[in-house]
Amino acid sequence: MSGHFVKAADRGLAACHSCGKVSPVKLEDCPRCGSRLHLRKPASIEGTVALMLAAAALYIPSHILPVLRTTELGVVIDNTIVGGMLTFWQSGAYPIALVIFAASILIPLLKIAALSWLCLAATGKMHPSPEKLGRVYWITELLGRWSMIDIFVVGILVSVLQLGNYVTVKPGPGALAFAGVVVLTMLAAMRFEPRLLWDRLDEDAEAPATTHESSPS
């Protein structure tokens, strides 16, 4: 099904990571901008997995620790992400509650799950069809574009809660952990080398008898 397509790497050509110029990899440095040339990003899977594990570890404190500390007429209240979402839901602000749910709970989890799946496919632990690979990679790219919605949510929360001298809002330690989750998942997605997926498809197509689908892995 997936025939072997000639790739730039087969001809010893590499696209520069910085400026995109395609040059022979034996030049070692890009003739246009001087960046180091690689056929594939070095240690891409290892880097992606390390960044994802760090993001997953920070995901837990980001939901247990308070993200916002509101002081209302001298009374200090700590709000977690889930607590804040439930408060908005109970007060009838359903769209804000849904945006918080999507941005803070669902999207980081989906990103980590999709990237883990792609890493498994790129290392040959799984053998999905090219169509499925393309679709999951497209979803990861789509989620990447919405990373900054988390920042947008914090902006909404502060503007909703900041009511002059009566209420003051300060970020809690959970906000730092949450910012860590956002940054680390973005870096993990950037570290991932999608061309490893297509390399793996070619390897599978060349050796169908050994590992394809029948293997329990």
Binding site for Zn ion (CB under 5 A): 16, 18-19, 21, 30, 32-33, 35
Of residues 34 and 155, the one with the C-beta less far from Zn ion = 34
Of residues 36 and 170, the one with the C-beta less far from Zn ion = 36
Residue 27 CB, shortest distance to Zn ion, in Å, is 11
Secondary structure of residue 28 in the 3-state scheme: coil
Sign of CA dihedral 174, 175, 181, 187: negative
Of residues 18 and 129, the one with the C-beta less far from Zn ion = 18
**Secondary structure of 155-212 in HEC code, one letter for each residue:** HHHHHHHCECCCEEEEECHHHHHHHHHHHHHHHHHHHCCCHHHHHHHHHHHHCHHHHC
Of residues 28 and 213, the one with the C-beta less far from Zn ion = 28
Q: How far is CA 107 from the centre of its chain?
A: 9
Residue 31 CB, shortest distance to Zn ion, in Å, is 8
Q: Rounded CA gap, 181 and 51, in Å?
A: 9
Counting Cα atoms < 13 Å in the Cβ hemisphere of 156 gives 17
Residue 13 CB, shortest distance to Zn ion, in Å, is 13
Of residues 37 and 153, the one with the C-beta less far from Zn ion = 37
Q: Rounded CA gap, 123 and 145, in Å?
A: 25
Classify residue 12 by its DSSP letter.
T
Of residues 26 and 145, the one with the C-beta less far from Zn ion = 26
Residue 35 CB, shortest distance to Zn ion, in Å, is 5
**Helix or strand (DSSP H, E) at 215:** none
Residue 32 CB, shortest distance to Zn ion, in Å, is 5
Structure tokens at 143: 């989620």
Residue 148 CB, shortest distance to Zn ion, in Å, is 27
